[in-house]
């Protein structure tokens, strides 16, 4: 609920700071005193767009703050989704700068205007002519019926499945469309895939083939140089190993004379062992090297195949060819198995449609069950509000189409007078009748769901004193479970508020200012007396005011 409203530099308001309690709150004041200004300021802090015209002083920013007690509003998920700290006492702030820029804050955290507006919608419901027109919309009418039928959880489950249903339908359409093209592409894709599969692609194969190709293409050169190296090492007369044996024998004779000679001997011995090992390996390598025209042709063919594949698929690596192969395998697999996939998707669709149909039927039954009660309560309460002959015809028809709220078509028709034909609300109900119907619907909804703070702006316009008293009684009753505001010109409504505020103007030589204050008992008597009897009310008006207040 709204606990405090602070306004600075807005229209005719220089500074305003006012606190509110729970219950039914009435706001009165002369025409032009600034009640619409108050609503405008509240709308801004709830996320409405603004311009520089709202600034009283064009050189100073406008600041509007509204404090809300939100612990019972189930808003934790909203705060989490928007990365905001949840506070039981949440403060909304709006700043309009002289430059024309606007800033919005929730608990001192900057937010977008959209986030502020989304939260504002959950906190305050300002009744306006636009909202009254919602009465004529099936979406709003169904929302009322579902609230009374306690359909919220069932609707949430239905909505979740409906999203899945749309996804399955889309997938199925894509499979069917794919099938129509698949046969045309299957033969070509299969040919491309076989080429890549026959290539037996593996990482590093290009480098291995290129190395083997160079070896096979240079067999004679390789053998010639291996033999030269081998002979140089092991020639009986001038080979390196023979010469090393001579050096080894000479140093062996000296090794006993000093550690220095012994070290030289050991080093020559190590070199001899290493070169002897190299010679053995040269012999083994030479034995393995041989001309192999057949293998050379195979390697050359494989390399040529790879380069042809690179060119065909516009790539230069085996890894990319592997990716293309995998993609083709998937396409060919889908083409070959598309009928099975379509069949599986159709079964999936049948299952979810069966579940959706069951939920839609349950929604329909729950709605039908409460319609007689809703119809009776609407007509009974409207009779109290001066519409004794009002009558509703509310009918539901199950359709074949899955809609966002089930499969129902709703016919919500109204007749204000006996003998009059039924028609759509927007065509047969006057503005005053629509306002009373909206008030009754809000009062019914208040019993079934946690509504936000309600603010009615002169909903009692154009009704008589007796009827307005009953409208006030309805709002007073609603105020027992929630916070309700009524901006009114009628004393019969104003008197029923658990608290009353007055909006008024003050002027000095330079400017006009709008103020607002909570009225004490004697001030309420004076205000109601003036509303009843004018600026100089008679004693009878004062007595009537006291009677209205029960004092």
pLDDT tens for the 551 residues of the chain, in order: 999 999 999 988 999 999 999 999 999 988 777 788 888 899 999 998 877 778 888 889 999 999 999 988 889 999 999 999 999 999 999 999 998 889 999 999 999 999 999 999 899 988 865 566 777 788 889 999 999 999 999 999 999 999 999 999 999 999 888 887 776 777 778 888 888 888 888 888 778 887 777 777 777 787 778 788 888 888 777 788 888 888 888 888 888 888 888 899 889 889 989 988 898 888 888 777 777 777 777 778 888 888 888 888 888 888 888 888 888 888 887 777 788 889 999 999 999 999 999 999 999 999 999 999 999 999 999 998 989 999 999 999 999 999 999 999 999 999 988 888 999 888 888 888 888 888 999 899 888 877 889 999 888 777 777 888 999 999 999 999 899 999 999 999 999 999 999 999 888 888 888 999 999 999 999 999 999 988 888 889 999 999 999 88
Same domain as 396, residue 280: no
Identify which of 10, 12, 9 has the alpha carbon closest to the alpha carbon of residue 513: 12
Residues 207 and 66 placed together within one structural domain of the fold = no
Q: Is residue 527 part of a domain?
A: no
The answer on 146 and 64 residing in a single domain is yes
In a domain? residue 330: yes
Burial class (CB within 10 angstroms; exposed 0-12, middle 13-18, buried 19+) of 270? exposed
Specify the pLDDT at position 218. 73
Residue 294 corresponds to which tokens in the numbers above? 């057949």
Please check whether residues 206 and 142 belong to one and the same domain. Answer: no
Label residue 542 exposed, middle or buried (CB < 10 Å: 0-12, 13-18, 19+): middle
Co-location of 196 and 312 in the same domain: yes
Quote the pLDDT of residue 51. 73
* 551 domain residue, yes or no: no
* Whether residues 113 and 248 fall in one domain: no
Is 118 in the same domain as 184? no
135 falls within a domain: yes
Say yes or no: 419 and 309 in one domain.
Answer: no
14 and 122 assigned to the same domain: yes
Q: Is residue 364 situated within a structural domain?
A: no
pLDDT of amino acid 131: 65
pLDDT reported for residue 193: 81
Claim to verify: residue 264 and residue 389 sit in the same structural domain: no
Same domain, 104 and 50: yes
Q: What is the predicted pLDDT for the residue at 404?
A: 93
From 337, 372, 404, the end of a domain falls on 337
- Where in the sequence is the domain holding 247, given as residue range(s)? 177-337
What tokens appear for 69 in the block? 């007690």
From CA 339, how far away is CA 188, in angstroms rounded? Answer: 20
Residue 92 included in any domain? yes
Identify whether residues 101 and 23 lie together within a single domain.
yes
Number of domains in the chain: 2
Q: Is 109 inside any structural domain? A: yes
Asked whether residue 136 is domain-assigned, the answer is: yes
What SS3 state is found at 72? coil
> Domain holding 146: CATH number?
3.40.50.300
Query: What is the C-alpha to C-alpha distance for residues 250 and 453, in angstroms, rounded to an integer?
Result: 112
pLDDT at residue 22, rounded to an integer: 92
Q: Would the pTM of this model clear 0.75, i.e. be above it?
A: no
Residue 510: per-residue pLDDT: 81
The pLDDT of residue 99? 87
Residue pair 372/438 in contact (Cβ under 8 Å)? The answer is no
Q: Give yes or no for a contact between 135 and 141, defined as CB atoms under 8 angstroms apart.
A: yes
| Phi, psi (degrees; rounded to nearest 5) at 57 | -100, 115
């Amino acid at each position: 609920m709204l606990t405090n409203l602070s306004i600075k530099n807005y229209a005719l308001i220089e500074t305003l700071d006012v606190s509110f309690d729970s219950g039914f709150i009435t706001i009165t004041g002369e025409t032009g005193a600034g009640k619409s200004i108050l609503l405008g300021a509240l709308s801004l802090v709830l996320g409405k767009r603004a311009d520089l015209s709202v600034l009283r002083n064009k050189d100073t920013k406008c600041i509007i703050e509204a404090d809300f007690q939100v612990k019972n509003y189930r808003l934790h998920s909203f705060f989490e989704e928007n990365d905001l700290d949840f506070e039981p006492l949440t403060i909304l702030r709006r700043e309009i700068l002289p430059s024309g820029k606007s800033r919005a804050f929730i608990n001192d955290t900057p937010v977008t205007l959209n986030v502020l507006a989304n939260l504002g919608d959950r906190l305050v419901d300002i009744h306006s002519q636009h909202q009254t027109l919602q009465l004529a919309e099936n979406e709003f009418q169904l929302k009322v019926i579902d609230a009374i039928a306690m359909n919220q959880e069932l609707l949430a489950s239905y909505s979740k499945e409906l999203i899945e249903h749309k996804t399955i339908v889309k997938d199925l359409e894509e499979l069917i469309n794919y099938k129509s093209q698949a046969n045309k592409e299957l033969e070509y894709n299969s040919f491309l895939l076989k080429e890549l599969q026959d290539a037996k692609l593996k990482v590093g194969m290009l480098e291995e083939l290129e190395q083997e190709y160079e070896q096979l293409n240079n067999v004679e050169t390789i053998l010639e140089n291996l033999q030269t190296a081998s002979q140089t090492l092991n020639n009986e007369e001038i080979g390196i190993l023979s010469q090393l044996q001579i050096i080894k024998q000479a140093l062996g004779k000296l090794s006993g004379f000093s550690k220095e000679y012994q070290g030289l001997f050991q080093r020559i011995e190590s070199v001899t062992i290493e070169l002897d090992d190299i010679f053995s390996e040269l012999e083994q390598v030479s034995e393995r090297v041989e001309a192999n025209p057949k293998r050379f042709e195979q390697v050359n063919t494989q390399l040529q195949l790879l380069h042809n594949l690179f060119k065909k698929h516009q790539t230069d690596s085996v890894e990319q060819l592997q990716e293309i192969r995998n993609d083709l395998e998937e396409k060919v697999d889908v083409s070959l198995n598309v009928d099975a996939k379509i069949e599986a998707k159709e079964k999936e669709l049948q299952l979810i449609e069966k579940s959706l149909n069951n939920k839609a039927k349950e929604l329909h039954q729950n709605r039908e069950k409460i319609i007689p009660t809703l119809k009776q309560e609407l007509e009974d309460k409207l009779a109290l509000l001066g519409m004794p002959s009002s009558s509703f015809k509310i009918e539901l028809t199950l359709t074949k189409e899955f809609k966002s709220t089930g499969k129902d078509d709703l016919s919500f028709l109204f007749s204000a007078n006996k003998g009059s034909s039924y028609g759509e609300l927007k065509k047969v109900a006057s503005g005053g009748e629509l306002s009373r119907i909206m008030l009754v619907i809000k009062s019914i909804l208040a019993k079934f769901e946690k509504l936000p703070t309600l603010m009615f702006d002169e909903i009692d316009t154009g009704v008589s004193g007796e009827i307005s008293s009953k409208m006030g009684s309805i709002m007073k009753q609603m105020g027992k479970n929630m916070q309700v505001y009524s901006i009114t010109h009628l004393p019969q409504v104003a008197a029923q508020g658990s608290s009353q505020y007055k909006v008024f103007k003050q002027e000095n030589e330079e400017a006009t200012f709008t103020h607002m204050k909570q009225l004490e008992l004697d001030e309420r008597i004076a205000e109601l007396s003036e509303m009843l009897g004018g600026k100089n009310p008679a004693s009878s008006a004062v007595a009537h005011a006291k009677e209205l207040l029960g004092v």
